[in-house]
Each structure stands twice: as structure tokens, then as C-alpha cells.
Amino acid sequence: MNWELFALRAILATIAGLIIGLEREIQGKEAGLKTNALVSLGSAMFILMSMEFEGDKYVDITRVLGQVVVGIGFIGAGTILEKQRKVKGLTTAATVWCSAATGCLAGFGMYTELGIVSAIILIINLVFGYIEHKMKKKAKAEENDKEEQD
């Protein structure tokens, strides 16, 4: 692979991770801009390295893809916390996992798919994060009203 194609894929992976991480950063989450960008870039690098062996005898380049998924699962597990009987960090862990997927897409040169998936991740976190916030706010208000009645 020539260096221009390598650079393009690395840069696109990084941009996808930054876009995804920006939303997490705005929300004040621990895994924000840098984490998502580095996860996406790192995933792309592993894919790009494995592609160097494509076509070699007894080589299955897809094994690296599977290992990226497992490795990111380990990182994601570290972002999940239980506090006062509530689980926190699941969305951040899922977002980091999706950032790894965007890196893999960039590494494989699947640019259209990369754009689509990055947009979907952003929409899910922004739109449904807003809806979730409103639902929690409403539930808390109802709980407070109920306590006042008792």
C-alpha cells in the first residue's frame, strides 16, 4: 500500500473518532475526543497492518478484525461503573466500541460506509441522548411529586 492511501485511511479514521468523541466530550464523559480518535485510529492501524499480509499462504486477515472487537470490549468494560445501584458508562463503552468499528471501516477503505456509520452513531448519541435526558427528567419530577403527596 502506498503512503498516500495509508495516510488517507489513517486521517479518515481519526476524523471519524474525533466526530464521535466530540459529542461525548460535550456531554462531559471520560471517553471523549482523544479516546475515540485514538481507538478509531488504532483499529485502522491494525486492519492496515493485517492487509499487508492479504493473499499470503495460510493467512486470514480477518482474524485481526476479531481481535480488535475483543480488545475494545476490554477497554469498554473499564468505562462501565456501578454507583448507588445504577450502572453508568454503558453508552460510552458502546460508543468506544463503535469508534473501533469506524477505524476498521477506514482501514478497509470502506469510505461511504464509514460516513454512514459515523453519522448514525452521532445521531443516536445526540437525538436519543436528548430524548433519554427528557424522559429521566420527567420520571424524576413524577417521583418528586409522589414523595410530596406522601
Please name the residues in contact with 61: beta carbons below 8 A apart, sequence gap of 6 or more.
Answer: 50, 51, 53, 54
pLDDT at 2 > cutoff 80 = yes
pLDDT band at 142 (very low <50, low <70, confident <90, very high): confident
Q: Looking at residue 78, what is its pLDDT?
A: 80
pLDDT band at 143 (very low <50, low <70, confident <90, very high): confident
Average pLDDT, the chain: 88
pTM: 0.82
Q: What is the pLDDT of residues 10-56, one digit of tens each?
A: 999 999 999 999 988 888 887 888 989 999 999 999 999 998 888 88
Q: What is the pLDDT of residues 59-113, one digit of tens each?
A: 888 888 888 888 888 888 888 877 777 888 888 889 999 999 999 999 999 999 9
